[in-house]
Amino acid sequence: MELRPGFIVSGGVIKSRHRADGVKETVGLALPGDPLGLDAVFGREMIDEVIYLPGTTLVDTDAAALRRAMTMAPSIPVALGTLLIGDLSIAEQWILCLGRFDAMQRICHLFCELSARMHAGDEPRNPVVAGLTQDQIADLVGLTPVHVNRTLHVLAKTGCITLGRGYVRLDDLSTLHSRGGFDGRYLGLR
């Protein structure tokens, strides 16, 4: 199925690619407000597969129609460029995280980023990260599923999170921020 360019309205999308040996790897997430499939507008297909999280709603468009609109309204390419710069900033942050953070820092950082991106503008009491499996979390943070499982249980035991069936509730964002070295300025959220 061709991925049409658009934007996530609710829910989220797990983006994956296939390695040369055919193994599928999770490479990113698109959350509400994020673009999806914009590479098709520029004649490129970068994502091999997307998995829609429960409750996901998309607004999509035709790549050719978006290219035509970009020629008529100069603000559209500027807006798309801003979104792509945001994606680049997140990718750069994760290069740092994967290269320099230990398992605890990576997982805490991921939860803080997801909370900030999913709840931009409001501060929920106990935000929830839902729909991600431990295997997908492992791919996102560059760890084995076993290591992720052990780290999640340490976080639960210390009261930072509550593990549920198919979700993680973030009970102590302050400690997660501290443990994950999280400074959300790279997200450009207000």
Quick one: tokens of 170?
């973030």
Q: In angstroms, rounded to a whole number, what is the distance separating the alpha carbons of residues 179 and 145?
A: 20
Specify the pLDDT at position 112. 94
Confidence of residue 54 (pLDDT cuts 50, 70, 90): confident
Helices (H), the chain: 63-72, 75-100, 103-118, 134-141, 145-157, 173-180
Side chain identity at 58, as an amino acid letter? L
Q: Domains (ranges, CATH) in the chain? A: 6-72 (no CATH), 102-187 (2.60.120.10)
Over residues 158-182, the pLDDT tens digits come to 999 999 988 899 999 999 999 999 9
Record the tokens describing residue 27, joined without a space. 């490479």
Judge whether residue 46 has pLDDT over 90: no
The edge-to-edge listing of strands for the beta sheet with 161-164 is 128-130, 167-170, 161-164
Integer Cα distance of 75 and 81 in angstroms: 10
Residue with tokens 């320099």: 100
Distance CA 58, CA 136 (A): 21
Q: pLDDT confidence of 123, banded at 50, 70, 90?
A: low
Helix (H, G, I), strand (E, B) or coil at 74: coil
Q: Which of 47-51, 55-59, 170-174 has the lowest mean pLDDT?
A: 47-51
What is the pTM (predicted TM-score) of this model? 0.88
Q: What is the mean pLDDT of the chain?
A: 89
Stretch 40-64: mean pLDDT, rounded? Answer: 83
For position 179, what pLDDT does the model report?
97
